[in-house]
Amino acid sequence: MDRLTALLAPLTALLSGVGFVEAPQEREAVEAEAQLVSAPVVADDGAVFTPISDSFRIPTENQVRIEQRITIRIAPRGSAPAPNFVDLPSRLPPRLAERHGERCLPINGIAGVQVSRDNRLLLFMRDRRVIGLGLEKACRATDFYSGFYVERSADGRICVDRDRLQSRSGANCALKRMRQLIEE
């Protein structure tokens, strides 16, 4: 069967249903044409041609890409701690001094966060320490009144000049300073 016949066979089948072309008399002939239309056509020179319907199919890709991203939410310090939380101080002492500390903290050690008056975030740690976080100049700490999100790093720590905090309202700020606050 030549290519022209293979291309015109579906059109002939459609037009015969409408009444423009006379339908074949034998059922076997119709079935044979249907099989030929769905099968690839081999030309005299050995080239294989697929039916037109196959050229409109979307090719399937056999690639799978899996990405894993973990975001941790640090909630504001509540008035009543949860049953498993460490007892946090009800309010801060009136006079606090800053002490240089580590540049990184374990994320799992953070029990809560609170915004301070001097445009920084106060982290209340599970080991009863209070850490002051300074944000970049373009950021306001008041944007983080309802806590923040941070992506979990490979080492499970939050570090200065590496991590960015995202507020629930959409602000995205880098950590610039981390100081431990102790009572004078």
Helix axis angle for 27-38 and 3-18, nearest 10°, is 130
Domain boundaries, the chain: 3-55, 71-183
Determine the length of the chain.
Answer: 184
Confidence tier at 2 by pLDDT (50, 70, 90): confident
Taking CA atoms, 150 is separated from 6, 12, 27, 53, 141, in Å, by 62, 65, 70, 50, 15
On the CB side of 37, CA atoms within 13 Å amount to 16
176 and 158 in contact (C-beta within 8 Å)? Answer: no
54 or 123: which leads in pLDDT:
123
Taking CA atoms, 136 is separated from 119, 161, 167, in Å, by 10, 10, 14
pLDDT value at 114 more than 80? yes
pLDDT value at 152 more than 90? no
Q: Is the pTM of this model over 0.75?
A: no
Phi, psi of 179 (to 5 degrees): -130, 140
Cβ-based neighbour number of residue 37 at 10 Å: 19
d(CA 68, CA 165): 19
Helix or strand or coil: residue 11? helix
Answer left, alpha or beta for residue 44, where phi above 0 means left and psi between -120 and 50 means alpha: alpha
- For range 126-145, the mean pLDDT: 90
Phi, psi of 144 (to 5 degrees): -105, 25
Q: Whose structure tokens read 């690639």?
A: 63
Which among 155, 154, 148 has a CA at the least distance from the CA of 171? 148
- For range 122-146, the mean pLDDT: 90
**pLDDT at residue 84, as a whole number:** 44
